Amino acid sequence: MRAKKERTLVMALGGILLASGLLIYFKGDKIYESLRGGKYTGTITKTFARRELENRIDRKIESKSLGRLIESLSLEKLDLADEILQDKDLVNFLNEGHLEIGGKKINYEEAVAQEKIKKGLQDLGVLSPELKGYLDKKYPTKTYVSIGKKIQIPEAIKTRDRLSRLIPEENLKNLILGLNDGKIETLNNIFIKNPEVVKALETKKIEDYTNIEKLYELSKSLYEIGQLDPRIALILNNIFPNFDFRKAALYGNLYLSDNTLEKNYMEEFQRGDYTIKHPLVKLNPYGRTPLTALVKFKTKEKNPKVKVTILGERGMENYSYISEYRDIEGVPIVGLYNRSKNRVILEVLNSKNIPVERGEVSIDTGYLSDLLPSIYVEKRVLGFTQPGMNLAVYNVKNEGMPFIFDSQGNIRYVLNTGNPIRTLTSLERSENGNWVVSNDEDNFIMDITGKILGRMGRTEPVEKPKNKEIQYLVRNNNVLTVVGFIDTPPHPYCLFSELGLDSKKPLFRAKIFYDYYKKEDNNIVKGERLPLYPGNNK
């Protein structure tokens, strides 16, 4: 009787073990996922999974340096690395320490194996910038980057799956899963070229704003990914809300340089206790306007306006204008004198335009570029000329350097557009007060401090600048004539001449003398009378 009970018990236990084995065999993945997702079991499960993966990889890879780089990856990437290292040819290649792939006459089977090795190295490099850096250093010829076209593309479904697993953001992952094979291959190539993209998508932040070149390459990669699908572009904008990678990609170093300067400016302001009596002053804030500054200070007024007064020098009266206080930049100071300790009065106005705070700041300026011409004012009839100052759209050989001068011939504003934008065909002031800077193929938008705001592109045909322009000055019924290049010994010059239509008398006459005799070396392509600060009548 007892023996019968023992047999029954043994059979029952055997049945339980068999059932458990079958359950684990057929449902093991679901059980594992359930444990992995548990509040308490998840950490333990992931720890054991990581340890198992590290042990497997450690048994395959002989190089301790490479092993440490792989083991530093996240669990998901570690799992991908384990999949990639399933290829025995790749593992043998890594362990044998070759410095190049190929280099001898091989048959078809060997060529297939080599292409698989190249692809495996590419896939490893995508997992982290550090891993790619190791492989680039180990194989300086970078031959693994060039994959033969015949055996280049793996199964599209595996590539799609691998790429989606590199991206933690669910909405972005789902969109990538829906891309066609051609776009999947494009995305794959972007990741191979720049693994910093994968890192940025994983951390959802831009870690280094100081390396302009690196940031530019990352911006281009993100922009290219956004071009695959408009919905992807929207998601990327949400992932990086404080970084406009589209502008960074299109305007390159111009935009990135401005963005970095602005970020540093804000950080400096946040570190200090700046008031209207002791404000933060940045002369030439974006490196393009040497006679312009930004002034920032703390104020209790909400949405304040600031009256700026630059005390007059060199025969000129005080110059005043009213500016909105901008949250990021503060107040633009425009119309400084060069080689001077400029005295600037700042007044915060309340909603009734009554001054409630006042301060004075001194701004030192240096010499202007030797490329700028000299100005001689021959005639100036006070009270009869049109208010404003004189814009000269001036080009030297390889760049634009438009400037504005007052009625005494003092240059009060310079915009160095630089080599990237080259010489100008036009400079216009838009309705909102920004500059529309045009060269032979593009229109750029800049504010008065020289900050790049955008690039419009050019749709209208490029017109050849006229050597003579006439501007009707409606307020005083005068006419301003600007002749850009007059070739008369001993020096060629540009002429600004204002004539009163009522009096028939000359009211203002200024000659701008060039340093070079050829028009292509220095030339004013356009001139006009306008307010120095947008909206100001003086």
List the domains of the chain with CATH numbers: 54-98+111-143+151-249 (no CATH), 274-365 (2.60.40.3100), 374-530 (no CATH)
Assess contact for 112 and 89: CB atoms under 8 A: no
**Cβ atoms of 337 and 412 closer than 8 Å:** yes
**pLDDT tens series, the chain, 538 aa:** 555 555 665 565 555 655 555 555 555 555 545 545 555 455 677 788 888 888 888 888 888 888 888 888 888 888 898 999 998 888 888 888 654 555 555 555 666 777 788 888 888 889 889 988 888 888 765 445 444 443 444 456 677 888 888 888 888 988 988 888 789 889 989 998 988 888 888 888 876 666 767 888 888 899 999 999 999 999 999 998 878 888 777 767 777 788 888 889 999 999 999 999 999 999 999 999 999 999 999 998 888 999 999 999 999 999 999 999 987 789 999 999 999 999 999 999 998 889 999 999 999 999 999 999 999 999 999 888 999 999 999 999 889 999 999 999 999 999 998 877 888 988 999 888 999 998 887 888 999 999 988 776 655 666 667 778 899 998 889 999 999 999 988 889 999 999 999 989 999 999 999 999 999 999 999 999 999 998 765 5
Q: What does the pLDDT read at residue 524?
A: 95
323 sits in which H/E element:
strand 319-324
- SS3 per-residue string spanning 385-435: CCCCEEEEEEEECCCECCEEECCCCCEEEECCCHHHHCCCCEEEECCCCCE
Q: What does R_g of the chain's alpha carbons equal in angstroms?
A: 34
- Which of 346, 335, 349 shows the shortest CA–CA distance to 277? 346
CA–CA distance, 206 with 384 (Å, rounded to integer): 57
What is the C-alpha separation between 128 and 187, in angstroms, rounded?
16
What CA–CA distance (Å, rounded) separates 432 from 436?
11
Do residues 355 and 347 make contact, with C-beta atoms less than 8 angstroms apart?
A: yes
Place of tokens 């479904």: 157
By the 8 A CB rule, do 125 and 131 touch? yes
Q: What angle do CA 485, 490, 491 make, to 5 degrees?
A: 30
Q: In the prediction, which pLDDT does 41 show?
A: 52
Tens digit of pLDDT for each residue in 112-126?
A: 777 788 888 888 889
Q: Are 404 and 412 in contact (CB under 8 A)?
A: yes
Q: What integer pLDDT is reported at residue 16 of this predicted model?
A: 61
The number of residues making up the chain comes to 538
**The amino acid at 380:** R
pLDDT of res. 148: 40
Whole-number pLDDT of residue 382:
86
- Residue 458: predicted pLDDT: 59
d(CA 73, CA 126): 12
- What's the mean pLDDT when you consider all of the chain? 84
pLDDT of residue 150: 39
Residue 337 DSSP class: P
**Which strands make up the sheet holding 478-486, listed edge to edge?**
374-380, 506-513, 493-500, 478-486, 468-473
Q: Give the residue carrying structure tokens 């992807």.
A: 232
